[in-house]
Amino acid sequence: MSANITTRVFSLTLLTNLLVGMSIMPPVFAQVGEYCQFENEAIANKDNLRIAAFKDSSDRKKAINNENVASTKAYQEIVKQHSQALNTCRQKSWLKTQGVWLRLYPCDLQDGKLDEVMDRIVNKGYNQVFVEVISEGKILLPRSENTTAWESLINSEQYKNADLLKLAIAKGRERGIKVHAWIFTMNFSTSYGKGFDRNGLAKMTVARQNAIARNGNGDSTISIVENLGKNPEGEVSTTNQLFIDPYNYQAQSDLYLVVNEVVKRKPDGVVFDYVRYKRGAGAASVVSNVRYLWIYGQASLQALRDRAENLQGLEIINRFLKQGYVTPTDLQTVKKLYPQESEPLWQGRQPSSQNPAIAFWQNELWKLAVGHAFIGVTYYLDIVSKPVFRQGIPAGIAFFSDGNQPVGEGFDSRMQPWHLFTSSYEWQPMAYAVCGKPDCIVAQVRRVAQYAPEGTKIAPILVGQWNEPFANRPSLEVQMQAIRAAVPTISSISHFAFGWQFQEAAFSRSRQFCKL
């Protein structure tokens, strides 16, 4: 915590009787400044009560003794008190919602482990958590109910009914935390279609192979390593990504099923991440030729060809897709093939009385292809988000504020059309800029605020550490205060991610590598 933040400690006695020789200390909790973090004394007391409450949990079938009853009651009471304190603090703070992004592991199913995770989240003043639904290509749904294209995270017969997502939602709500499901939208991971369904049939069908996005060189997104670009001093490359063709029916159906199963668990919200194409590596991070767009999957190609409004239009589109450009000879050939038509036409293009130069046609076709790529993203999102809106559950979109920008004569290859998103979603820009100061981070947030439709709720996502700068970024406190000063209407901010915070790194590793 910052040195200038004052601390107030509130104490209360929960239990006065001491049972079976066990001393139960009066719980103490504290709120610290506007970030609503708890004091070390209160945290330690809650930890001790939790450990006592879940002691000898493997012997639950045995008669529960008075000591266990008392410690469980005391733990439940302090959890309730901390929930109330957090809620009161948040109501008084300018930052009404402070969220964190969380990945779960099989060992979180152990008695008390998820309670500990959620307690740590509350201790930091977080009243919102985004739980990753498909983690490293494994889905949180129980094996006994999983009919999706992904294997269950807990994929054993012994725990076939384990529902980590449902459990996380319940544990979070006990503590006053709003639990949102975090869903990868166009990045299905390389585990998509791996394994076998409940009938013993391979999940990777021909239809799913055709769902994978491709470019004009025949590359799938598996064969291209993406540089996330979060830190110019050392970009983190990823090799486990598989992006789909948003026009593909199988891809739409597969994610729709996931979303439908998620909303059955009644989360407090659903956030769609990776609502974009894959970013190319190096020079390919900017795309200026149609053949490098991820629109060469069968479904996407057909949808683009269907935008032609006459035969000349269809022929010139096909030549543009095949070559990456068109020539005066192409135009002459097209007119000879279909002399009954005056000129090539496609959706959005009006006939011209002029005889434009080839550069005009090149530019028009490029705009058609870019528009087609953008629309594919929003079209796909509209389909897969239907179960969320049908149930009246709040929906959000995580996106890069620079993911839709023209760069030179091309575009950012992520082709993330957030300028086309509607105010039906909460906008969650990932403000990950790096410049040693909060200025570039604020600039990203301000740009989104300027373009957002009236009434859009904006909740930036930040990367950093509490109390100290890291990786050429200011501390989280400095970032948040700068955003508050620049865009005072913002009252919700989240941090990526729980496991990245120094204080939680060892704990997260122990959860990741332990055996259930």
- Over the chain (516 residues), the average pLDDT of each successive run of 10 is 32 30 43 81 96 73 65 96 96 97 98 98 98 95 97 96 98 99 97 92 95 93 62 50 97 99 99 94 87 97 99 99 98 98 96 89 97 98 99 99 91 96 98 98 98 98 98 98 98 98 96 93
Q: Are 474 and 437 in contact (CB under 8 A)?
A: yes
Helix (H, G, I), strand (E, B) or coil at 212: strand
Residue type, 105: Y
Dihedral sign, CA of 448, 453, 455, 457? negative
pLDDT of residue 225: 63
Tell me, what's the pLDDT at 33? 65
Nearest to 132 by CA among 158, 153, 110: 153
Task: Check residue 230 and give its pLDDT.
Answer: 41
Give the position of tokens 């550490």.
465
Residue pair 270/396 in contact (Cβ under 8 Å)? The answer is yes
Which are the contacts of 254, defined by CB distance < 8 A and separation ≥ 6?
148, 149, 188, 192, 208, 211
What is the spatial distance between Cα 352 and Cα 308, in angstroms, rounded to a whole number? Answer: 16
pLDDT on residue 281: 73
The C-alpha atoms of residue 71 and residue 24 are separated, in whole angstroms, by 7
Structural contact between residues 495 and 460, judged by C-beta atoms closer than 8 angstroms: no
CA distance 175 to 118: 8
| Rounded distance between C-alpha atoms, residue 491 and residue 283, angstroms | 38
3-class secondary structure for 310-367? CHHHHHHHHHHHHHCCCCHHHHHHHHHHCCCCCCCCECCCCCCCCCCCHHHHHHHHHH
CB proximity list for 421: less than 8 A, separation 6 or greater: 378, 397, 399, 427
Burial class (CB in 10 A: 0-12, 13-18, 19+), 223: exposed
Whole-number pLDDT of residue 202: 94
What pLDDT does 32 receive?
Answer: 55
User: 328, 361 in Cβ contact below 8 A?
Assistant: no
Give all domains of the chain, ordered by start, each with its CATH number. 1-93 (no CATH), 94-296+376-513 (3.20.20.80), 298-375 (no CATH)
Q: Which of 119, 103, 110 is nearest to 47 (CA)?
A: 119
Instruction: Please name the residues in contact with 450: beta carbons below 8 A apart, sequence gap of 6 or more.
Output: none
Give pLDDT, residue 178: 99
Measured distance CA(269)–CA(276) in Å, rounded: 20
The per-residue pLDDT for 65 is 63
